[in-house]
């Protein structure tokens, strides 16, 4: 029987086989833990993180609201770095809940997926 984590990692490897980020269009990858959410823009050609944001320094709020704040924060940082288009990597998580809130907030902030 496959556990939740094994299932997510299997989906993650399938997704990563299809997408990758470049300097012009980096990969926006999301990681969520039980309490926090992290996002970074990665250039896979060089193996470097261009921009990163997380909910660590933000004030307490419900998880979905924190995800939305992190989405707007990453959009601001990306525009300061001159990045407008990204490839979204949900990292094996379902496009639902906090992941969806983060993606919608990043889109509203000016990023194009």
pLDDT for 96 equals 96
CATH 3.30.420.100 fits 4-108, yes or no: yes
Give pTM, 2 decimals.
Answer: 0.92
How many CB atoms lie under 10 A from the CB of residue 112? 10
Domain ranges of the chain: 4-108
Assess contact for 52 and 39: CB atoms under 8 A: yes
Average pLDDT of adjacent 10-residue blocks, the chain of 113 residues: 94 94 94 97 95 95 96 97 96 96 97 95
């Amino acid at each position: 029987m496959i556990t939740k984590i094994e299932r997510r990692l299997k989906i993650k490897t399938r997704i990563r086989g299809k997408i990758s980020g470049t300097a012009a269009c980096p990969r926006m990858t999301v990681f969520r833990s039980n309490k926090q959410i992290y996002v970074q823009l990665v250039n896979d050609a060089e193996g470097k993180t261009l921009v990163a944001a997380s909910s660590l320094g933000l004030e307490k709020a419900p998880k979905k609201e924190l995800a939305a704040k992190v989405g707007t924060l990453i959009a601001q940082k990306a525009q300061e770095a001159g990045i407008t288009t990204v490839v979204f990597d949900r990292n094996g998580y379902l496009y639902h809940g906090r992941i969806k809130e983060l993606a919608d907030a990043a889109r509203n902030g000016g990023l194009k997926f």
